[in-house]
Amino acid sequence: MQVITTVAGVREAVRAWRKEGLTVGLVPTMGYLHEGHASLVKAAKADCDRVVVSVFVNPTQFGPNEDLQSYPRDLAHDEALLESLGADVLFYPAVDEMYAPNAATWVTVEGLTAGLCGKTRPTHFRGVCTVVSKLMNIVMPDKAFFGQKDAQQLAVIRRMVRDLNMNVEVVGCPIVREADGLAKSSRNTYLSPTEREAALVLSRAVFKGEELVRAGAATPLAVVEAMKKIIEAEPAARIDYVEAVDAESIEPVNTFEHDVLFAMAVYIGKTRLIDNFIAKAR
């Protein structure tokens, strides 16, 4: 595996692969990699001849009072994991390699970014869409792999790729969980042992929601109410949102006519965690 820190270096590697007629997969990450990220890399390996994994803690997707400075980083661990998974390039650019000091261009997706995480994090998706667009332009992959864990992000990226005619297929991959249900996240490392226990309310609410949907719940709202009840019973948890939205448009819904995304963000102490599931249209 090559570790490349420059845009020119990645372009050169990809150009050589293209000459050989090889296909290229891209897995964008912020590092501190876990099995959730590994599942994306494995999906990319299975689907593409060569795989580029970017590790970049993207400052533009953090709000002013968020965890940019404290975001966990461990390049040696990430490098060893990616090597073992057979990734071909680890792209690890510095901030000034990705952003010129006078960068003035943003990619914004409207509508779908207004609700859910966009409410609490109003500049987040602008940062995500801008950096993902840049990575697409740098790597020009055939396919790019994203986790369903960040369901709104996946919907936003799908829309951006379609709207801007980006020549890439977006592949969504299922949520990977810890044995006890907690969705894997780099931010889980912020949790104290008691908070780690309390954090199980998120997955418990997801599992309860899935069960109610399976049992034929009358409305999405009834499911949301039951999920909220579970979370509210945990004193260490503070709900940011628990909502049912159209999985594609991210508009609030109260029928099962289209696929429904049940999504939540919950603070456990100071740590904001997200989880979700999708109920298929019926």
Which sequence positions are flagged as catalytic? 37
Closer residue to ligand AMP, CB minimum distance, 36 or 220: 36
Confirm if 122 and 63 have CB atoms less than 8 A apart.
yes
Name residues whose C-beta falls within 8 Å of residue 76's C-beta, 6 or more positions apart in sequence.
Answer: none
**Minimum CB distance to ligand AMP, residue 28 (Å):** 6
- Does 134 bind ligand AMP (CB under 6 A)? Our answer is no
Report the candidate in 174, 185, 153, 180 with the shortest Cα–Cα distance to residue 266: 185
Tokens 């997707």 locate to 61
* In the complex, minimum distance from the CB of residue 21 to ligand AMP, in angstroms, rounded to a whole number: 28
Closest contact distance (angstroms) between CB of 58 and ligand AMP is 8
User: In the beta sheet, which residues pair with residue 279?
Assistant: 260
Grouping H, G, I as helix, E, B as strand and the rest as coil, residue 34 is coil
Interface residue with ligand AMP, options 29, 133, 203, 276 (CB under 6 A): 29
Q: Note whether 190 binds ligand AMP by CB under 6 A.
A: no
Task: Provide, rounded to whole angstroms, the least separation between the CB of residue 144 and ligand AMP.
Answer: 9
Cα–Cα dist 171/196, whole Å: 30
Contact range with ligand AMP by CB under 6 A, out of 65-73, 109-117, 144-152, 232-240: 144-152
Residue 184 in the binding site for ligand AMP (CB under 6 A) = yes
Query: Does residue 176 belong to the site contacting ligand AMP (CB under 6 A)?
Result: yes
Q: Examine residue 147 and tell whether it contacts ligand AMP (CB under 6 A).
A: yes
30 binds ligand AMP (CB under 6 A): yes
Chain length of the chain: 282
Instruction: For residues 56 and 73, give the distance between their C-alpha atoms in angstroms, rounded to a whole number.
Output: 10
Say whether residue 185 binds ligand AMP (CB under 6 A): yes
Cβ proximity to ligand AMP: between 138 and 175 the closer is 175
Q: Closest Cα partner for 262 from 243, 240, 241?
A: 243
The residue assigned the tokens 């990319």 is 44
Query: From CA 255, how far away is CA 252, in angstroms rounded?
Result: 10
Binding letters toward ligand AMP, positions 36-75, x by CB under 6 A:
xx-xx-----------------------------------
From 80-88, 161-169, 182-190, 247-255, give the range in contact with ligand AMP by CB under 6 A. 182-190
Q: What is the DSSP string of 210-231?
A: HHHHHTT-S-HHHHHHHHHHHH
**Are the C-beta atoms of 270 and 234 separated by less than 8 Å?**
no
Query: Applying CB under 6 A, which residues contact ligand AMP?
Result: 29-30, 36-37, 39-40, 146-147, 149-150, 173, 175-176, 183-186
